[in-house]
Every structure is written in structure tokens, then in C-alpha cells.
Amino acid sequence: MSAEHNHALPSTQNEKVLWAAFALTTTFLIAEAMAGVLLNSLALLSDAAHMFTDSAALGIALAAVRIAKNPADQYRTYGYHRFEILAATFNALLLFGVAIYILHEAWQRFQSPVAVQSVGMMAVASLGLVINLISIRLLSAGKDSSLNLKGAYLEVWSDLVGSIGVIVGGIVIYFTGWAWVDTLVAVGIGLWVLPRTWILLKESLNLLLEGVPLGIDIEEVEKEILSQKGVVSLHDLHLWAITSGKNSLTAHILMDGTVESTTLINAIQSSLSDKFAITHTTLQCETKLCDQAEKCVFIDGSNTLQQHSHNH
């Protein structure tokens, strides 16, 4: 059960910060990639590769925000909000690919070390660090309420860590001459990214599979419904999210007749909205169990989501 809720930023605000971060990241990406080639630094090239995924992720996130603005129609009654989840999923897969590529390249470098220009490496990474800090500042406001923005935010965070790693690696190489440190930093960046990418992918897939939104306990939701005056039991309870912050619920409610159905529905909807941020609720009130009550359950062997009784 969640007592506090973070509501998504308006799409226009999301779009503004995404545009700003996209412009900064893309500009620096080009400069860093050129520097990585000229300075022969795998760490810089790996950071540039992350910058490329940042730029792609931000571009995809922007496209998703634009598409999500399209109104619902007769073919897509929920609208196009799920494009934001598809974008987050794609960004997670993109991050996986880049991390694996960097680890592969690092293995090649360990076998055949090359000289690295540490001073230029540190200068470019320092500039990248500044760009990342600005982008993180822009994206931080909406990261907890939009999985789409969270994907872009994680991309930039991975770059920030990468920039710090490159700077530290450059300092070590400058004073010791250990060129292999450049490759070690690249490996560290790749390993740092993988677990965070997995978390993002899990959250995205949970939404695509119409799982219960993170932060909401379905048993607490059920208890809240059963606590309402006039409710005897409930069945066919389903809870999912179309996209971040757009939670939906359907349920069949068996009522005792002491409360008028419209009043009961309004009370349940208000309670679910206030306590769980469930704002799209469809309830079917029944004075006796419907003929499909036994067939409405999708979870085998569960007593939790099957019919429950409540005595007032």
C-alpha cells in the first residue's frame, strides 16, 4: 500500500526537459566520439557509446511523449500512452547491448593494450561530466512518475558514472603510465550499467504484462474495498497500469443492499483514488453472485483474489 503518490509531469513539461537534455547530449556525443578516436581511449569511446544511447533514448522518449498526446479513438480506446512503456523497454534493451559491446571491446584491449593520451581524456570527460549533471538536473523532477523519463534518466546517470570513471582513470594513467586502467574503467562502466538496466527492463515488462503497478499492494486494495459499508464480498479483481501513473482497476462487488449502488461505487472510487492513486475504476455491483463468479478468477489456487466475505 502506498500512502504517497508522485503524479507524472504534464507532457509539455516532460517534452521541454527532454528536448533540452537531447540537445546537450547529442552535441557532446559527437565531440566525445571524435576525441576518443583521436586520443585512442576506449574509456572515452565507451562513454561516447553511452552518450549515443542517451541521445537515442532521449529521442525515443520524445517521440513517445509526442505519440502519447494523440487522443483515444475507436480503435485504441486507451489512447497511445503505452508508447512510453515501449520506449522505456527499448531503452533498456539498448543499454544491455551497449554494455555487452563495451565488455567485449574491453576484453580485446586487455589482450592487446594500446597507448592512451590521458590529459585529453580527462579534459573531454570533465566536459561530459558537466553535461551529464545538467541533464540529470533537468530529468530528475519526472523520473519517479514516468517510466519513460526514468529510462532516459538512467541512461544519463550511467554516463555520469562513466565520466567520473574516465577522469579517475586518466589521473591514474597520467601518474603511473598504466594504459590498461583505461580498459578497466570501461569494464567498470559496463558492469555498473547492467543491474540498473535490468531493473528498468523488469518494470517495463511488468507494465506490458499488465502486472500490478509497483508500490501498490493488491491485498491492501482488496481490504480497502471490503471495508466499505454495504460490501459483502468481491471477485474478478484486476489491477494494472496503462502507463506510469495511470492505474486502472476492475472488480465485481457483491452488495447487501443497505447502500445504493451509485453511492457505493462513488465511495470506493474516491477511496481508491486517494489511497492508491487508482484513477480509472470500473465496478460491477451485484445483489447476488453473477453466473460467471467462479470463472472470473485468473489466478489458480489463490484464496486472496477469489471471492471474499466481509461482515459489518
Residue 2: pLDDT band by 50, 70, 90 thresholds?
A: very low
239, pLDDT greater than 90: yes
Pick from 4-18, 104-118, 206-220 the range whose average pLDDT is largest.
206-220
| HSE-up (13 A, CA, CB side) for residue 289 | 15
* Strands in the chain per DSSP E: 231-241, 247-255, 278-286, 308-309
Q: State mean pLDDT over 204-215.
A: 86
Task: Enter the C-alpha cell of residue 308.
Answer: 471474499
pLDDT in tens, 111-121: 776 677 778 77
pLDDT over 70, % of the chain: 83
Among residues 236, 208, 241, 204, the alpha carbon closest in space to that of 5 is found at 241
**Which of helix, strand or coil describes residue 115?**
coil
What pLDDT is stored for residue 147 in this prediction? 67
Residue 227: pLDDT band by 50, 70, 90 thresholds?
A: very high
What pLDDT is stored for residue 226 in this prediction? 93
What pLDDT is stored for residue 304 in this prediction? 43
| HSE-up (13 A, CA, CB side) for residue 66 | 9
What pLDDT is stored for residue 62 in this prediction? 79
Residue 284, beta-bridge partner list? 252
Q: How far apart are CA 304 and CA 286, in angstroms?
A: 20
Q: What is the DSSP letter of 306?
A: S
Among residues 6, 205, 247, the alpha carbon closest in space to that of 88 is found at 205
pTM of the model: 0.65
- pLDDT higher for 137 or 189? 137
